[in-house]
């Protein structure tokens, strides 16, 4: 049977999601736990990669095994895994469904704090300058109407195209805390952190809305803003069609 797993993790101590030769990853830790508990070699496929230091409120991965008691498996996994990873639930799905390819929408949040705090230093980007939130949200509207985001993609990324459909983009200020929300059908490598870096330049009046349009037209990563640090970024939600679930 095929199962979808709902996962949360704090990415600070991981070299990202995907297994790699050097460094501990989230995927590796979960596969080890599953294989030990189920006494069988289990591989998982995530909805997408997150980079080193990036967190997930809601990551999804699928795996195949014999029929299991999902409530007991969730309990055992959470007992086995360290405190930086939690399994929130497991559901059976159709066997032809992929956690990577069937997702219809992914949402990321980026958190910024303007006042220094030791309690959120690994979960938010400490950034002191004042920002023009109204101007940033005008920039968000421009981004929502665009399709080709090569200018925000890491260079040498092997993809068929750089087109993304943005469903939602909004900057929210709550006192000295800021949150950027963005949802799309897909994201390019490094895209969200590059978007946030560009929006910060607009919020500080270092660049203009007209310049943003020129950056988008250029398809040139070097013309966009810097990539902001990983600690503020969260994979917030992954959405799938309802008819994939068996329970």
Do 95 and 111 reside in the same domain of the chain? no
Bin 23: left if φ > 0, else alpha if -120 < ψ < 50, else beta. Answer: left
Number of H helices, E strands in the chain: 5, 9
Do 82 and 119 reside in the same domain of the chain? no
What is the domain range of residue 167?
A: 107-236
Do the Cβ atoms of 137 and 202 come closer than 8 Å? no
pLDDT in tens, 200-210: 999 999 999 99
pLDDT in tens, 133-174: 999 999 999 999 999 999 999 988 888 999 999 999 999 999
Neighbour count for residue 128 (Cβ, 10 Å) = 10
Looking at the structure of the chain, the number of domains it has is 2
DSSP annotation of 228 reads P
Q: Which of 74, 102, 130 is the last residue of a domain?
A: 102
Q: State the CATH number of the domain containing residue 11.
A: 3.30.70.580
**Considering all CA atoms of the chain, what is the largest pairwise distance in Å, rounded to the nearest integer?**
58
- Side-chain-side CA neighbours of 179 within 13 Å: the count stands at 11
The residue-averaged pLDDT of 202-222 equals 97
Do 96 and 111 reside in the same domain of the chain? no
Q: Which of 46, 79, 102 is the last residue of a domain?
A: 102
Q: What predicted TM-score, i.e. pTM, was given to this entire model? A: 0.96
Do 114 and 173 reside in the same domain of the chain? yes
Does residue 242 form part of some domain?
no
pLDDT in tens, 79-124: 999 999 999 999 999 999 999 999 999 999 999 999 999 999 999 9
Do 203 and 223 reside in the same domain of the chain? yes
Has 51 been annotated as catalytic?
yes
Question: Does residue 17 have a pLDDT over 90?
Answer: yes
Do 83 and 140 reside in the same domain of the chain? no
Do 111 and 232 reside in the same domain of the chain? yes
Higher-pLDDT residue of 159 and 36 is 36
Mean pLDDT of the chain: 97
The residue-averaged pLDDT of 194-216 equals 97
Nearest Cα to 148, choosing from 220, 71, 46? 220
The catalytically annotated residue of 51, 69, 84, 210 is: 51
The pLDDT score that the predictor gives to residue 94 is: 97
Do 228 and 145 reside in the same domain of the chain? yes
Tokens 């066997």 belong to: 95
């Amino acid at each position: 049977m095929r199962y979808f797993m709902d996962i949360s993790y704090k990415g600070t101590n991981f070299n990202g999601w995907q297994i790699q030769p050097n460094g501990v990853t989230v995927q590796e830790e979960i596969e080890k736990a599953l294989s030990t508990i189920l006494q069988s070699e289990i591989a998982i496929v995530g909805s997408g990669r997150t980079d080193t230091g990036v967190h997930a409120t809601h990551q999804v991965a699928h795996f195949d095994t014999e029929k299991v008691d999902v409530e007991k498996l969730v309990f055992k996994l959470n007992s086995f895994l360290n405190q930086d990873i939690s399994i929130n639930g497991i559901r059976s799905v159709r066997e032809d469904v992929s956690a990577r390819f069937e997702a219809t929408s992914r949402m990321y949040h980026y958190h910024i704090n303007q006042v220094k705090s030791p309690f959120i230093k690994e979960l938010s980007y400490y950034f002191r300058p004042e920002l023009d939130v109204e101007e940033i949200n005008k920039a968000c509207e421009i981004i929502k109407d665009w399709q080709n985001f090569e200018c925000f993609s890491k260079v040498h990324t092997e993809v068929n195209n750089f087109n993304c459909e943005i469903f939602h983009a909004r900057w929210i200020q709550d006192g000295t805390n800021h949150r950027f929300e963005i949802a799309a059908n897909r994201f390019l490598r490094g895209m969200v952190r590059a978007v946030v870096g560009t929006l910060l330049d607009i919020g500080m009046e270092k660049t203009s809305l007209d310049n943003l349009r020129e950056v988008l037209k250029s398809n040139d990563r070097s013309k966009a803003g810097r990539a902001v640090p990983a600690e503020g970024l969260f994979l917030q939600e992954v959405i799938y069609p309802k008819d994939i679930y068996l329970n």
